[in-house]
């Protein structure tokens, strides 16, 4: 089999510098050669590295598009794909690739490391080896391979800042890919999308600023979808509705999601046209708004896209 590794940068390919860890060319390629020499991998591997390599804190929707475009252009020449990525924004990129690679019928495996390949005790060697293996055996779709686990790319979230087992995802039966008759690329641009959390004594000016200036908003609400019904918050959400920008509500809880209408305290959200994000992760909600804005020019079409389960990103029941 022939595999393509798209190396974006991130901790897995870093070296120690005077300023701290930084991406370095050749690190990943050396590790792949060592895996092949050990006999753990017999498949042909080609590496396509970003130039320059990036820390994932620098990643943007333009990088999602670059990765997806590379896979699309090389799709017929490879049997599987591995994307090596920094862990800080890995969940955003995995979510975006689920939406971008419509009808993908090959494995796309996203991985990274908590410690660089150049550091003793690294988890990078295991993750890289497992990802290369998964690219030959996993079901079609976008997956995250990390700490021995193969995780749904549309559900994954980073749950720990330094443990090797840093990612989690709810297990669902829907594959992490948009169903389509033929493989096609869904374009995505870099739009001004804000992510704002409801807090006790919320600084409503932040939400109003987002409503005035952003093209879309992810609103992180309490529990099952509640928010304080104040004149200021009501005015901010009405402003977003007036401007016809999508606002998607997700829960601040890591599991369970929201159900708008469960509590009267969530009435302000329903009344101002806020979209029920159900149990989507904030990362997926952010990516999904970017795709909605990139593909549709009007709020009705954007709303239809955002309220349709595309790749198992939320529980459709």
The whole-angstrom distance between residue 55's C-alpha and the CA centroid of its chain comes to 16
DSSP state of 85: -
Residue 183 three-state SS: coil
Q: Based on the residue annotation, tell me whether 8 is a catalytic residue of this protein.
A: no
DSSP state of 266: G
Residues 59 and 86: beta-carbon distance below 8 Å: yes
Q: What is the spatial distance between Cα 68 and Cα 62, in angstroms, rounded to a whole number?
A: 10
| SS3 assignment for 149-214 | EEEECCCCEECCCCCCCCEECCCCCCCCCCCCCCCEECCCCCCCEEEEECCCCCCHHHHHHHHHHC
Which is the catalytic residue, given 11, 84, 93, 174?
Answer: 11
CA atoms within 13 A on the CB side of 160: 12
Residues 221 and 251: beta-carbon distance below 8 Å: yes
Letter string b/e over residues 63-84, b meaning 16 or more CB atoms within 10 A of that residue's CB: bbbebbebbbeebeebebbbbb
Q: What is the length of the chain?
A: 317
Q: What is the spatial distance between Cα 69 and Cα 17, in angstroms, rounded to a whole number?
A: 32
Task: Give the Cα-Cα-Cα angle 243, 65, 15 (nearest 5 degrees).
Answer: 120
Active site residues: 11
């Amino acid at each position: 089999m022939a595999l393509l590794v798209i190396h974006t940068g991130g901790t897995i390919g870093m070296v120690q510098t005077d300023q701290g860890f930084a991406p370095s060319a050749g690190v990943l390629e050396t590790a792949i050669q060592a895996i092949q020499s050990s006999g753990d991998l017999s498949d042909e591997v080609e590496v396509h590295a970003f130039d320059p390599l990036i820390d994932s804190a620098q990643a943007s929707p333009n990088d999602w598009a670059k990765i997806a475009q590379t896979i699309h252009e090389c799709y017929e020449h490879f049997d599987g794909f591995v994307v090596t990525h920094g862990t800080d924004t890995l969940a955003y990129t995995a979510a975006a690739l689920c939406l971008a690679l419509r009808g993908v019928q090959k494995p796309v495996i996203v991985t990274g490391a908590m410690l660089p390949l150049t550091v003793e005790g690294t988890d990078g060697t295991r993750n890289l080896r497992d990802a290369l293996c998964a690219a030959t055996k996993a079901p079609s779709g976008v997956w995250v391979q990390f700490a021995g686990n193969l995780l749904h790319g549309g559900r994954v979230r980073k749950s720990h800042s330094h443990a090797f087992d840093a990612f989690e995802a709810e297990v669902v039966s829907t594959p992490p890919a948009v169903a389509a008759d033929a493989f096609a690329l869904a374009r995505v641009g870099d739009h001004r999308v804000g992510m704002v959390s409801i807090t006790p004594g919320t600084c409503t000016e932040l939400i109003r600023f987002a409503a005035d200036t952003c093209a879309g908003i992810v609103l992180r609400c309490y529990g099952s979808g509640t928010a304080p019904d104040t004149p200021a918050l009501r005015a901010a959400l009405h402003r977003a509705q007036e401007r016809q920008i999508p606002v998607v509500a997700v829960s601040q809880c890591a599991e369970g999601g929201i159900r708008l209408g469960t509590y009267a305290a969530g009435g302000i959200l329903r009344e101002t046209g806020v979209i029920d994000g159900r149990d989507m992760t904030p990362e997926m909600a952010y990516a999904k708004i970017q795709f909605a804005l990139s593909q549709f020019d009007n709020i009705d079409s954007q709303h239809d896209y955002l309220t349709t389960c595309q790749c198992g990103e939320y529980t459709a029941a």
